[in-house]
Structure 1
Amino acid sequence: MTPAARVQAAIDILDQVVAAARGQGASADRLAAEWFRQRRFVGSKDRRAIRELVWSAIRACGEVPASGRAALLRLAIDDPSLASLFDGSTYGPAPIAAGEPVAEAGVMPRWLADTMAASGLDTNEQAALLGRAPLDIRVNTLKTDRDTLASDLPVAAETTAAPHGLRLPLGTAAESWPAFADGLFEVQDTGSQLACAALGAMPGESVVDLCAGAGGKTLALAAAMGNVGRLLACDIDRARLQRLAPRAERAGALAETRLLDPGREPEALADWQGQADAVLVDAPCSGTGTWRRNPEARWRLTPAAVQRYQAMQARVLDVAAGLVRPGGRIGFITCSLLDAEGADGLAAFLARHPGFRVDPVVAPLGRAHGGGWRLSPYHDGTDGFFFARIVRV
């Protein structure tokens, strides 16, 4: 492809991304993958260049752009070499017309920037949410240890602050390695590993992963427990929960699964009421702490959506409260940095449940915040998280 044709291809993909953001459609990753699937003639070098243009444009536009072309023009404003490719050539974009719409520059929509600031995140913190995420893995201690795996990997790996974490060079195809197929590690951000570890799951305990999804944190819990005790993974999404079984088999992890009906979780978990030593609540949220991986997500978020997430979090935490035995604990995790989905939710839970108190968390990265602990890309080089440990007294 010519450089101009790459620009037009990026515009075509961005048009789909913008439409999906407005209509809550597919993610940018899925849209780009489908675009390339339908055009198998596009070579790997062209694919990399097109993807770089697409994601650079997404990161450059604070508000949802009017079109893919407007998004690319935002980049061209500061890059004369890119602007010169709007030349009207075959398969290339039309020349830039005087006064045509150009997307507004910025880190995020203004209402979100204000909400972030009210949550204690300054402009540096906000800008870091759109950086490039590292590639971290969690060593599966059911099968190996960190030093052994690091010495056997085909690339150099750095240890992270998580006890079993390693950081690999960006772009590493780690999931294609035999070590991954053998279950020696899972791809998991260091922040996610630390948040999960804060629950303190131990061998012999009865533990519930209440919002297990595809089971990434379930596998970490199984490893922490050494497969000794009882571990139950639950979710309301059948398709996601079904992905846990093959992952657990690969990892050698032991966990039961249970599909829940929304709104009827206590009935489905009647046998666990007041029995759990620990319950992990990886609560539904807006995912503002993971924007480095899907930056277009900030275009999809609305104040009404944040309110819905607050309500869902409150519901799940109330379910968790019924499962915990006296002296047991809840691990509340959210991968959002908005206080509305973290510190405020924790305070509201404690007000509803006076029989619970916060057990202070101290982690090797991050800082205390709102009764819990906060990790952020700017300060810690991890995804953004708020987490807290709550004990039933």
Structure 2
Amino acid sequence: MTPSARVQAAIEIVDEVIAAAKAGGAPADRLIANYFKARRYAGSKDRRAVRELVYGAIRACGPVPGSGRAAMLRLAEIDPAIAPLFDGEGHGPAQVREGEPVADGGIAPDWLVARLLASDIDHTEAAALLDRAPLDLRVNTLKAERAGLDLPEPGEPLAAPHGLRFDAGTQVEQWPAYRDGAIEVQDGGSQIVCLASGAEPGETVIDLCAGAGGKTLALAAQMENRGVLVASDTDRTRLSRLGPRAARAGVTIASTVLLDPGKELAALAEYAGKADRVLIDAPCSGTGTWRRNPEARWRLTEKRLDQLVQVQSQLMEIAKELVAPNGTITFVTCSLLDEEGAGQVERFLSADPGWRAEPLALPAGRERGEGTRLTPHHDGTDGFFVARLAQTR
């Protein structure tokens, strides 16, 4: 592909990304993969270059752009090397017309920027949300230790005690340590919020919104593979991925429970009032993960945010029924909005004086309300809020 053809390919993909964002369709990485699946003539350098252009254009636009072309023209204002490629030659994009619309820059749609500011995420903090994320690993202590692990590259030790950082795009899946289950891909912030749970060997722990089980595996290692660990979720496909991952990691204490929305307590009835720890990695806006999924800014609406806040409240009520008298609830969101963090915990504690927030001693993050918040700018991690709640005695 010529450089101009790469730009045109990126424009076409960004058009698909915009449509998917409006309709709740596939994420950008899947759309890129599908695009090249139908164009096998494109080499690895072409694919890499087009991918960079696509994500560059997405990050360059704040509000949803009118078209992929408008988004690419916005990127051309930032990167002067792109503008001459609008030459109309071959498979390249047509020449720029006078007065042609260019997408707006910025961090996100205006309403969302206002919500971030109200949560004390200023411009510097918000801008860091659009940086490219590194690749973080968690050393699986069931099989290895960070200090003695021999990897093809050394990695940078993280504040998370078992974390290592590498450049984005490092092909760790090809490393023997990955195939043997000695390492797992997990953001350093995600590792730290697992530590906040305080899970210990021999306990009964429920990962209420386990997804594909990344935090479940971290909890299993924290528990030294001793105790009862339940991974539950409403998404059958994602939950089914835990079994092979657990086998590779040597995790033997994790079991799965598929939940029926609205009937979660029925599925978890045998654990009611018995859990030492309940981790709620709640569905949220994902504002803390824009480094990895920058198009998520275009998917979120005020209505959707309100729905997510309601779901989070319901999950906390479910967790109350599961936890033992001396147990704890750890509430986590990968969001920087107070509605989904400090504000959510404040509402919970105000509504039920039988609960209190426990102090957290974490290796990163700053206090936010009754919990701790991590941000890309301050902590170099994805954005998270975490709080641990216990019943008053």
Confirm or deny a common fold (TM above 0.5): yes
- Does structure 2 retain, via aligned residues, the 8 Å contact 1:140–1:251? yes
Share of identical aligned residues, percent? 61
Question: 1:82, 1:226 → 2: CA distance?
Answer: 52
Question: 1:229, 1:356 → 2: CA distance?
Answer: 25
Indicate which of 173, 176, 181 corresponds to 1:175: 173
1:117 alignment partner in structure 2: 117
1:108 alignment partner in structure 2: 108
Gaps of 5+ in 2: none
Question: 1:385, 1:80 → 2: CA distance?
Answer: 35
Instruction: Between 42-51 and 182-191, report the one with greater CA deviation.
Output: 42-51
1:217 alignment partner in structure 2: 215
Gaps of 5+ in 1: none
Aligned-partner SS, 1:143: coil
Aligned length: 391
Instruction: Between 168-177 and 291-300, report the one with greater CA deviation.
Output: 168-177
Question: 1:89, 1:306 → 2: CA distance?
Answer: 44
Question: 1:11, 1:28 → 2: CA distance?
Answer: 13
Distance 1:85 1:255, change over 3 A: same
1:66 alignment partner in structure 2: 66
Q: How does 1:6-45 map to 2 (within 5 A)?
A: 6-45=6-45
Q: CA deviation digits over 1:143-170, x for unaligned, max 9?
A: 1111122xx1001211100011111222
Aligned-partner SS, 1:148: coil
Question: 2:53, 2:226 → 1: CA distance?
Answer: 49
Q: CA deviation at 1:256?
A: 1.2
2:331 alignment partner in structure 1: 332
Q: How does 1:377-388 map to 2 (within 5 A)?
A: 377-388=376-387
1:165 alignment partner in structure 2: 163
Question: 1:223, 1:98 → 2: CA distance?
Answer: 60
Distance 1:47 1:355, change over 3 A: same
Q: CA deviation digits over 1:288-344, x for unaligned, max 9?
A: 000000101101101111101001101111000111111210110000000011111
Aligned-partner SS, 1:325: strand
Aligned-partner SS, 2:52: helix
Question: 1:23, 1:309 → 2: CA distance?
Answer: 18
Q: CA deviation at 1:77?
A: 2.6
Distance 1:79 1:159, change over 3 A: closer
Q: How does 1:238-253 map to 2 (within 5 A)?
A: 238-253=236-251
- Does structure 2 retain, via aligned residues, the 8 Å contact 1:182–1:251? yes
Indicate which of 163, 182, 185 corresponds to 2:183: 185
What is the letter of the counterpart of residue 388 of structure 2?
R
Question: 2:163, 2:79 → 1: CA distance?
Answer: 39
1:154 alignment partner in structure 2: 152
1:266 alignment partner in structure 2: 265
1:51 corresponds to 2:51: yes
What is the letter of the counterpart of residue 308 of structure 2?
Y
Q: CA deviation at 1:266?
A: 1.3
Question: 2:49, 2:190 → 1: CA distance?
Answer: 30
What is the letter of the counterpart of residue 344 of structure 1?
G
Indicate which of 201, 223, 238 corresponds to 2:199: 201
Distance 1:210 1:80, change over 3 A: closer
What is the letter of the counterpart of residue 128 of structure 1?
A
Q: CA deviation digits over 1:63-87, x for unaligned, max 9?
A: 1010000001112234443111111
1:297 alignment partner in structure 2: 296
What is the letter of the counterpart of residue 256 of structure 2?
T
What is the letter of the counterpart of residue 113 of structure 2?
A
1:341 corresponds to 2:340: yes
What is the letter of the counterpart of residue 164 of structure 2?
L
RMSD of the TM alignment (CA)? 0.9
- Does structure 2 retain, via aligned residues, the 8 Å contact 1:362–1:373? no
Aligned-partner SS, 2:237: helix
Q: CA deviation at 1:176?
A: 1.7
1:99 alignment partner in structure 2: 99
Question: 2:125, 2:156 → 1: CA distance?
Answer: 24
Q: CA deviation at 1:366?
A: 1.0
Q: CA deviation at 1:351?
A: 2.2
2:77 alignment partner in structure 1: 77
Instruction: Between 21-30 and 72-81, report the one with greater CA deviation.
Output: 72-81
